Amino acid sequence: MYRDNDFVYEAIASLEETTGIPIAIESVRKTYDVVLQIKKETFYCIAKKNAKNANYAIIMSSIKDFNPSKNNIVIADYLTKKTASDLKQNGINYLDASGNTFVKTKDFFVYIEGRKAKINKKTNQTRAFQEAGLKLLLLLISNPDTLQLSYRELAEKAGIGLGSVSNVFKELEEGRYLLKTRNKRVLKNQDEIIERWVIAYNELLKPRSFKKRMRALENEFSLNGIIHNTNMKLYSGGELGGEILTGHLKPIDYIIYTDEETSKIAKELKLVPDEAGNIELYSKFWTDSLYLKNEYTAPPLVVYADLMGSNSSRNIETAKLILENGL
């Protein structure tokens, strides 16, 4: 059974109470977290903890083993109304710990919405998934060799305080994300770390890094403006970053990370402020010590997070390619 499983039992108990039908929970299987028997039907369940701010794209990207020919269910501690709606529209059954439910098969249908959320206020509030922790994890995931550096070296490369490194490592170890042996450190459960990083980044660090929304004067903006500009350091995120890293996406919206002054960027790239513009400027939040796979893009993890946060199906496909190619 799922290791932090209180919310799973709460969700199943709520469904049992609502339907009045006994639900049998089968023993652990490798592929699924829970297998349920409702009447004579079998339901294969994937448990999603820390889903408070996860959108449809983030949830579905981690469900690699769903077989559309089976009765599948996502069981979450909490789902936003928008995410629940997206799951329902795409025919994905779900339960959450508050009792919100969409379960539909040929012979069985339950739909409940509007149940009051039971949110754990500590979800994603550990130091590891706050600003300093996100910066450190970005370094460790992007440049795995840095995991063996001293705390002081890590603090310098991540641009955070020495005490923050110590606190984050302690929490990672307590959360079973970090294994320390006599000679080395090992990051464990990286899929879960990346998923939590993406959620926390879009919720916390990305909004703090936002500078300005702009548009091009001539309503044209392309990769050439990034590559051929020698006066500024600009790093593409989002769709443009996805295009550069995979060659798989034609950008409509643009994200640029930079330390340059907004006025200088506007002058060089011929941009003007526009609240409805398709070009977003963000402060670069990683240090120059972080090795980039491409000199014109943000770290792949950041580009991946931008694309996943957009909740656009075309962006999700590109995000998957980035993940498959390694962050």
In sequence order, which residues have a C-beta less than 8 Å from that of residue 127 and are 6 or more positions away? 133, 164, 167, 168, 171
| 154 found inside a domain | yes
Cβ-contact 254, 238 below 8 angstroms:
yes
Cβ-contact 1, 75 below 8 angstroms:
no
The model carries a pTM of 0.79
Question: According to the model, what pLDDT value does residue 45 have?
Answer: 87
H-helix or E-strand containing 232?
A: none
Q: How far is 181 from 164, CA to CA, in rounded Å?
A: 21
What are the pLDDT digits (tens) for 54-70?
788 888 776 666 777 78
| 66 found inside a domain | yes
Count of domains for the chain: 3
Taking alpha carbons only, the member of 131, 158, 133, 130 closest to residue 143 is: 158
What band does 121 get if pLDDT is binned at 50, 70 and 90?
very low
Output the domain CATH number for residue 52.
3.40.1350
Cβ-contact 77, 14 below 8 angstroms:
no
What are the pLDDT digits (tens) for 178-209?
998 888 999 999 988 999 999 999 999 999 99
Which domain covers residue 156, as residue numbers?
Answer: 127-188
What are the pLDDT digits (tens) for 231-262?
789 999 999 999 999 998 899 999 999 999 99
**CA quadruple 202, 203, 208, 213: dihedral positive or negative?**
positive
Do 305 and 212 share a domain, yes or no?
yes
Do 144 and 87 share a domain, yes or no?
no
Q: How far is 233 from 243, CA to CA, in rounded Å?
A: 19
